[in-house]
Amino acid sequence: MKRSLRLPFGLLVLTALFTTLSFRAALRHDHSSASIRDAAAAAAEPDLNATLLRLSAEDPGEAALRRDVDDLLDGNLPASADRRGRFHSSWRRENHHHHLLLHPRPRSDPHLPSRFRSQRDYLSLPEFRRALRDWFRRRRFQPGVMPELPDLVNSHLRGAPAHPAAAPRRSRFSSCAVVGNSGILLNSEHGDLIDGHDLVIRLNNARIEGFRRHVGSKTGLSFVNSNILHLCARRDGCFCHPYGDGVPILIYICQAAHFLDFVACNASHRAPLLVTDPRFDVLCARIVKYYSLRRFVSETGRPPEQWAAAHDALMFHYSSGFQAVMLAVGICDRVSVFGFGKSLDAKHHYHTNQKVELDLHDYEAEYAVYRNLVERPQVIPFLSDSGFKVPPVVFYN
């Protein structure tokens, strides 16, 4: 019996030895393969990054925008305005009912009538043509605009009526709170913390009443996209200041035809109605598109050239919230951000019943930018290239 057990036992030892050696060889092979893959990925990263930078600089809507601007300067409403927001019909409806869209200038101004009944009247205004032409001429990539933002913004804020945040003693604000509209705001009571900042920036006329303990009550700057302004332009007196008529309004122009609304509303507002620097718009667009491209490649494994087919490239854009955060980064020494992010048990906006996000934004890409702003601002492309130093940024979730 003992002799009969020796042979199998010996075979067992040899088998175990062979298995161990084979496992070690496999480990060495896997480690070698992983090293090769890592080396290949590292070698490909500069090429991929260069491709992402190149693609993020492409603007598929540039040609259409130029046509719109040319149409407007020629005295015609562009056809794209109808496709995007029924611009013509809303003006016609207001004119048909003879509602006052605005009082474009005091009656003492002999050059302008107190009421316009047709959008074509606005097209002929030199103020409209000048504003549109200057805006389009300045629309170029220039990341060095970030250090200029404090002077660009404050030069207008100082001219506003007396307001706690309208006359800073220096070019940059000491602390800024950007208050987003996410439903997660209702999960905390940051109202007093928000109001304790030097400047409070609110988005797209989000309601305060009934939510003060969550969102605060102070507003130093109202940031809206021009779609909001277009709705305001249809109201009597172009009412667009729920935070008080002394609060300056900063507008991002979504489409060139909305300059009609800007000129129409600008003269009726006691506080300044400002338009974001188009160089700043271009910078924000490139940053978000870069992060969206990188996320697309990472999550799908597909080449970045296929990103446009997976997104509506013509409509893709950053959110108002993203640009408001970047504005605060440019004009403030310390930035606190509230109401950005999402939760399964929270509404999309705290003050509405909207549950679905807009498809034209890539919020996950924007969240990636926010993480870098907090943890590694030096890696953000375009922004880092300009030499701009990002101030401390904190997100309250």
In this structure, which amino acid lies at residue 64?
A
Strand intervals (E) in 254-338: 273-275, 335-338
With cut-offs at 50, 70 and 90, classify the pLDDT of residue 302: very high
Strand 176-179 vs strand 199-203: parallel, antiparallel, or unpaired? parallel
- What local confidence, expressed as pLDDT, does residue 120 receive? 59
CA 254, 68, 152, 244 torsion-angle sign: negative
Mean pLDDT of the chain: 78
Per CATH, the number for 56-396 is 3.90.1480
Across 369-378, average pLDDT = 96
pLDDT at 257 over 70: yes
131-180: per-residue pLDDT in tens? 999 999 999 999 999 999 998 787 666 554 444 454 444 589 999 999 99
With cut-offs at 50, 70 and 90, classify the pLDDT of residue 44: low
Instruction: Decide: 210 and 233 in contact? Cβ < 8 Å.
Output: no
Q: Rounded to whole angstroms, how far apart are CA atoms 180 and 322? A: 9
pLDDT at 355 over 80: no
Q: What is the dihedral of CA 207, 208, 213, 215, to 10 degrees?
A: 70
Q: Where are the domains positioned within the chain?
A: 56-396
3-state secondary structure of 335: strand
Higher pLDDT, 83 or 81: 81
Residue among 210, 212, 209 at smallest CA distance from 189: 212
Q: Rounded to whole angstroms, how far apart are CA atoms 137 and 279? A: 10
Higher pLDDT, 186 or 119: 186
273: left (phi over 0), alpha (psi -120 to 50) or beta: beta
Total Cβ atoms within 10 A of residue 112:
16
Total Cβ atoms within 10 A of residue 255:
20
